[in-house]
Amino acid sequence: MQINYNFADYVGYTMKRAIIFLTVFSFSLPAFTSLRGQETWTLEKCIRYAAENNLQIKQQSLMVQQAENNVLQSKLDFVPSVSGSVSHNMSWGRSVNLQDLEIIENKLSQSTSANLSASMNLLEGLSKFNTLKSNKTQLEIYNYEVEKLKNDISINITQAYLQVLLAQQMEKTAAESYKSVEEQVERTRKLVDAGSQAYSTLLEIQSQLGTEKVQWVTAQNDVRSNLLTLKQLLDLSPDTPFDIYVPDTENFSMELQTENLNSIYNSALDLPQIKSAELALEKSRLDLKIQKGQAYPVVSLSAGYGSYYSNSQEKAFFSQFNDNRNPSLGFSLRIPVFNNWRTNTSIRNARLNVKNYELDLEIKHQNLFKDIQQAYNDALSAYEKYKAAEQNMASSQESFSYVEKKFDLGMLNGTDYTVSRTNLFKAQSEFYQAKYQYIFQLKILDFYKGIPLTL
């Protein structure tokens, strides 16, 4: 056999294949790049991203910046206030020559003066010191409020993250159940064709397949909905590529340890809401001292330096400024006597404010212990529900396996099979819901213990 090669045809064929390859590659490249660029978000990354980008946190941080400005201003209040002035006057008509006291008629007279003065309070009931301490305390309060906001958002993100994991698990379970019933439809069709099963049995299994399809579609919608909720908590745009990390929950320690609630409570005393309440009480006491300081005398120091020039004098401008120097130094004492009882009213209200913050701190301590009690009780209830659901799912799985074998042998009708399949899916759903709810309650206990929220 003889094979004839046409070099031109060969080159043309090669070029066509190269063009096709490049075209396919160019269209595939964006999708490939997008796939590689899509990040997997862990729970820790979600919490960290929210702490850095959440708009509410940014808004609350502005209060911190304002408090920092107030602290700086309180420090600058210890510096003497300094003011300067320069004035130039012109007058017509009758005036007096300051050298010889001669009256001058209808002549333009001009004068220039300059003055520099400074003043400060030497003694004012320690109001400035207490105001500085009060503003510093307010700054700490705002910082703790930012931390509390971060904690609240972190808990919401953790709950939403677990909801996504639950929805994905339910979608996976629904898909497996649908495929299992789909396979069962094919087996039943063969049994019907062979005369081993009635045609009505096939219809019942096909109806169950429709139910499984609805459950699968519903589970898919739940995944999208819960992912959207999590993205909204992160303030991400809906079109942002988003895929979360799925931890191996099978290796989680699911046993509930017996907890000492007092020990958890002592660990939780460092939470921002408690620290903020303690500082608010401290600030109220400082504010009381500030109000008491208003009843004390105020001793002030003032100093000034000035000079002037007048064209009614024959000396030059700078010579007059040098001769007319006028330095001054003075002290003043202001004693509050009666101001319509306003100072006493302010002091009494400040004392009541201290009492109010004492009660507020006690209430927050009580609420914290109640929240810890409730969290442990919820965890205990979730644990018991989880164990019961786990046992129920195992029993339902064993029951369904038995029913499926008998159904395949033609010993049961389609109704018994669909009922058993429905019960199994329900048991699986209850188990996974109980499981992720229990994990969330464990994370709440970890939060009160001071353990970071992780999966």
**Residue ranges per domain, the chain?**
41-79+125-296+341-449, 86-123+299-335
Q: How many whole angstroms separate alpha carbon 43 and alpha carbon 136? A: 35
pLDDT surpassing 70 at residue 106: no
- Report the distance separating Cα 440 and Cα 78, nearest Å: 52
- For the cut 90, the answer to whether the pLDDT of residue 438 exceeds it is yes
The CATH class, in words, for 41-79+125-296+341-449 is mainly alpha
Chain mean pLDDT for the chain: 84
Quickly state the pLDDT bin for 96 (edges 50, 70, 90): low
Is residue 437 a contact partner of residue 158, using CB atoms and an 8 Å limit? no
Q: What is the DSSP letter of 331?
A: E
> Tell me, what amino acid is at 180?
S
Across the chain, how many H-helices and E-strands are there?
10, 8
More confident residue, 130 or 99: 130
Q: 98 falls in which pLDDT band (50, 70, 90)?
A: low
Asked if the model's pLDDT at residue 15 lies above 60, the reply is no
* Contacts of residue 247, Cβ cutoff 8 Å, sequence gap at least 6: 165, 455
**pLDDT given at position 37:** 47
pLDDT digits (tens, 9 = 90+) for 229-271: 999 999 988 778 888 998 887 767 777 778 889 999 999 999 9
Q: For residue 297, what are its two tokens?
A: 């005398």
pLDDT of 348 reads 93
Q: In the structure encoding, which two tokens stand for residue 139, read together? A: 């700054």
Q: Is 60 exceeded by the pLDDT of residue 16?
A: no
The reported pLDDT for the residue numbered 319 is: 82
> Taking residues 351-369, what's their average pLDDT?
96
Averaged pLDDT, 327-345: 85
Contacting residues for 178 by C-beta, under 8 A, at least 6 apart: 209, 212, 213, 215, 216
d(CA 89, CA 101) in angstroms, rounded, equals 19
Rg (CA), the chain: 42
CA distances to 176, 184, 417, 430 from 401, in Å: 15, 13, 10, 19
- Per-residue pLDDT of 266-321, as tens digits, reads 999 999 999 999 999 999 999 999 999 888 888 888 888 888 887 767 778 888 78
Average pLDDT over residues 131-160: 95
Run of H or E residues at 326: strand 326-334
Q: Measured between alpha carbons, how far is 201 from 183 in angstroms, rounded to an integer?
A: 14
Residue 159's pLDDT is 94
pLDDT at 91 over 50: yes
Task: Give percent of the chain above pLDDT 70.
Answer: 88
Q: Are 376 and 259 in contact (CB under 8 A)?
A: yes
What pairing do the DSSP bridges indicate for beta strands 40-41 and 95-96? unpaired
126: phi > 0 → left, psi -120 to 50 → alpha, else beta; which? Answer: left
Q: Which residues are CB-neighbours of 386 under 8 A, at least 6 positions away?
A: 254, 431, 434, 435, 437, 438
Kindly list the distances between the CA atom of residue 365 and the CA atoms of 39, 225, 445, in Å, as whole numbers in the listed order: 41, 37, 17
Which pLDDT score, from 0 to 100, does residue 315 have?
Answer: 79
On the CB side of 196, CA atoms within 13 Å amount to 13
Looking at residue 263, what is its pLDDT? Answer: 92
